[in-house]
A and B are shown apart, each in its own frame.
Chain A
Amino acid sequence: MHSFVYRLNGLLTFSVTILAIMCAITSLSDNLHTPSPSAEIQVMNINWFQKQPQGNDEVSLTMNISADLQTLFTWNTKQLFIFVAAEYETPKNSLNQVSLWDAIIPSKEHAKFWIHTSNKYRFVDQGNNLRGKEFNLTLHWHVMPKTGKMFADKIVLTGYSFPEEYR
């Protein structure tokens, strides 16, 4: 019972168990924290709005995105993955979510920002339903912890709409 190998085995088992407990407690500590983020998105310009040869509508727009997400950071936060998605309904699809822009915020200092950008990913519909349609722009964030449970939330901003005609 007291050979080197047994002691090594006992030591390894104990340290792995302690590490696992520490990771679990670290992750649970995130539940004690209540964040209060804020964000604003303005659509500055619809650059163009066309129907593709395959029949799908596509739009390119430029947005001003400003947000203060500093309260989302805890000691257990490694980074924040944020993205802006356009969400709308069509006759065929009860929900369409199209990610327009995303970014990784590596630390609290970078979490209060303002950016002027066109959509990073192509905004293509399944079909040609976009003319005159209203849509929401939702800022989603995913908290990626140093260890443990990941969680996500969003702010929904309503009141945007496409032009009535192609441009």
Chain B
Amino acid sequence: MGLIGDTVDSIKSIQTRQLLSQAVSLGMIVTSALIIWKALMCVTGSESPVVVVLSGSMEPGFKRGDILFLHMSNAPIRAGEIVVFNVDGREIPIVHRVIKVHERQDTGEVDVLTKGDNNNGDDRLLYAQGQQWLHRHHIMGRAVGFLPYVGWVTIIMTEKPIIKYILIGALGLLVITSKD
């Protein structure tokens, strides 16, 4: 096939200087992606400004594979907000809705209880052993915006890593064999 023949010819004619300059271009692309990601973290005030919905506990509003945009401000946490939180000892963040808020008079600290829209019970079963409430430091952000279906790319790449390697390999091949 012409495509494979062209690719093989391109690989055969690689020179060192061209290879190095293409490695630098690749590095620039990766670094600018990282800069954009870090800038987003700064602007939204959240450690992960974009999360993918992994479970069906917020259906029919958020389905598996949807993307949520997060924002964390110092505004107090109020009932009804959709928050993303980490339970101590678990690394996967959970996106559920706040159903109870008790805010202290003096310190402004807050006890929060959450529940997934599609779950029957509240999240006390998900919290750490003996923990009845979430506190502000558990909460990573509030969901403010939403895009459907786009997160499937991330889910597929996480659950079938072979696809991730194929994709990166193909992109690398494309960069190396490009003539500019």
Contacts and interface: CB of A to CB of B under 8 A. Distances in A.
Partners in one complex: yes
Interface of A: 3-5, 9, 23, 27, 78-79, 81, 83, 85, 91-99, 102, 104, 106, 121, 126, 140, 142, 144-150, 152, 154
Contacts of B80: 81, 83, 85, 99, 140, 142, 152, 154
B178 to A, nearest CB: 8
Contact of A140 (B76, B79, B147): B79
B137 interface: no
Given A4-B3, A98-B100, A99-B99, A91 B145 contact: no
Contacts of A148: 145-147
Shortest Cβ-Cβ A-B pairs, 4 listed: A99-B99, A97-B79, A97-B101, A94-B105
Nearest to B108: A94
Nearest to B180: A1
Contacts of B134: none
B148 A146 contact: yes
Contacts of B164: none
A20 B79 CA distance: 31
- Interface of chain A, helix or strand or loop or mixed? strand
Given A3-B3, A79-B60, A96 B147 contact: no
A145 B61 CA distance: 9
| Residue of B76, B117, B122 with most partner-chain A CB within 10 A | B117
Contact of A97 (B100, B145, B146): B100
Nearest to B170: A5
Contact of B105 (A23, A91, A149): A91
Interface string B81-122: 110000000000000010111111100100100000100001
B145 A149 contact: yes
B146 to A, nearest CB: 6
A92 B102 CA distance: 9
Interface string B123-145: 00000000000000000000111
A121 B122 contact: yes
Given A79-B60, A79-B61, A126-B111, A95 B101 contact: yes
